[in-house]
Amino acid sequence: VPWKQVDIDCIGPWTVKTQSGTFYLKALTMIDPATGWFEVVEVEDFTANCMQVAFEWVTISESWNYKMKRWIK
């Protein structure tokens, strides 16, 4: 069953250097092991509150629901 289980992990901080400057990336990764579908969302920090907001933003957002409906069909 898609999204019955979600594997999550925090990645970073990574230092990314480009021609326009240096920035630091921290992100939350979410993977559905049933389908292999994954999402990555940049986060400000790794606090529990920040992780919850990022998870809810991805799973509740309308664009995410649209993508999942297309994926599951």
Which residue is it, tokens 């606090």? 47
- Does position 55 have pLDDT exceeding 60, yes or no? yes
pLDDT band for 65, please (50, 70, 90 cuts). low
pLDDT band for 33, please (50, 70, 90 cuts). very high
Residues in Cβ contact with 6 at an 8 Å cutoff, skipping those fewer than 6 apart: 30, 31, 32
What confidence score (pLDDT) does residue 68 get? 59
Question: Phi/psi of residue 3, each to 5°?
Answer: 65, 20
What confidence score (pLDDT) does residue 23 get? 92
What gap in Å lies between CA 53 and CA 9, rounded to an integer?
A: 14
Q: What is this structure's pTM? A: 0.73
